[in-house]
Homo-oligomer: A and B are copies of this chain.
Amino acid sequence: MRKVAVIGCGQTKFDEHWDKSLRDLSTEAGILAIKDAGIEGKDVEALYIGNMSGGRFIGQEHLAALAADQAGLLPIPATRVEGACASGSLAFRSAYMAIASGLYDIVIAAGAEKMTDIKGPDAIAALMGAGDSEWESAIGLTFAGLYALMARAHMHKFGTTSEQLAMFSVNNHKNAALNEKAQFPFPITVDDVLKSSLIADPLHLLDCSPITDGAAVVILASEEAVKKLKVENPIWVLGSGQASDTLALHDRKSLTEMFATKVASYLALKQAGIDINKIKLAEVHDCFSIAGLLALEDLGFCEKGKAGRFVEDGNIELGSTVSVNTDGGLKAKGHPVGATGISQIIEIVEQLRGCAGKRQVEADIGLAHNVGGSGATSVVNILGKEKK
């Protein structure tokens, strides 16, 4: 396997983009990334794009060829990959593998989703395509409902409180206030969360990530290409892990852990040759606040059952034990599902480059964790300033 680095990043603001189509958003992010990498379109050899449900959100499948065309990259091979809300990370991992294998030297990994062109309830139904359509969607479960079941089990088993869940959202918003690309760039309080509408008991509105439009693009390059292009600040991929679990929540052994995250994390850390306690910077998948807590435990930042206390004790704030979701996370930066995984990578890269502005933390290594559905797909990527 060859060494691979991220050499360029670009993303749109995450927002409700009423005046822009998915092709507008993808093109905007793509141009920023190509410019940031200092390459030309003709240098790019292949493209992968993560998109969860273009068919249902905007009546558009076949998005990879569209993105390649819009970016002026024809006739390069262009492939859409999908694993629900982990689609972006799958695109990243595919691009990484394509270069590590020796097949290509410069590859684009993109993620995009346009979610606001259909009505809210239709978007909720589309998102349930990430769950088990025969055994979950068909009986009326929504993702808020699924994660509420996990939250309730976690509270029952470990004594986790609504306040502790709320604190995860509070940390996200605090960081998002420092991120101009965030959908909700303002602070909130625990009280705000607890007083917001109950969506699926015990989850309140401010425990839930929003519906968002956005696109994010990174450019990956082989070690040879990094040298040839004289890239000043390459950020290296140190490890990548992916794992799967049952689509339906009720088929799992436990409601309070995501087994796929444990496996993906183990694989990525093993490849990187590091221990989780070396990681001081992490983007974790918090589609709901409980998902953020589960991630902290399953990734190994704290023991199983203790994430509530871990958050309460200030261990995830900027510059603390581990700076978590420095960009605002899914909750406050926004969650355009197919774009999220790439956007997480971009935050890690900007932090490691030292370009994260007011939210800059000190770290040499960062971890990005992206989940599809209620945990049936999990992807963990680890990046660092130095090659292994």
Q: Residues of A at under 8 Å CB distance from B?
A: 1, 21, 23, 52-56, 58-62, 64-66, 68-69, 73-84, 90, 94, 97-98, 100-103, 125-126, 128-134, 137, 242-247, 251, 259-260, 263, 372-373, 376-377
- Contact call A244/B74, Cβ cutoff below 8 A: yes
CA distance A242 to B372 in the complex (A): 27
CA distance A79 to B62 in the complex (A): 16
Q: Among A61, A137, A377, which residue has the most Cβ atoms of chain B within 10 A?
A: A61
* Chain B nearest CB, measured from A94 CB (Å): 7
- Contact call B133/A75, Cβ cutoff below 8 A: no
- Contact call A260/B82, Cβ cutoff below 8 A: no
Total copies of the chain: 2
- Contact call B83/A62, Cβ cutoff below 8 A: yes
CA distance A77 to B243 in the complex (A): 4
- Contact call B77/A80, Cβ cutoff below 8 A: no
- Contact call B130/A62, Cβ cutoff below 8 A: yes
CA distance A251 to B246 in the complex (A): 42
- Contact call B61/A130, Cβ cutoff below 8 A: yes
* Chain B nearest CB, measured from A299 CB (Å): 15
Question: Contact check: which of B126, B133, B245 meets A74 at CB < 8 Å?
Answer: B245
Closest to A75 in B: B243
* Chain B nearest CB, measured from A105 CB (Å): 14
- Contact call B244/A69, Cβ cutoff below 8 A: yes
Name the B residues within 8 Å of A58 (CB-CB). Answer: 133
Taking A55-B55, A62-B83 as given, write out 12 further A-B residue pairs in contact, using a Cβ cutoff of 8 Å, ordered by the A residue number.
A23-B134, A52-B61, A59-B125, A60-B133, A61-B84, A62-B82, A62-B372, A62-B377, A65-B244, A65-B377, A66-B132, A78-B377
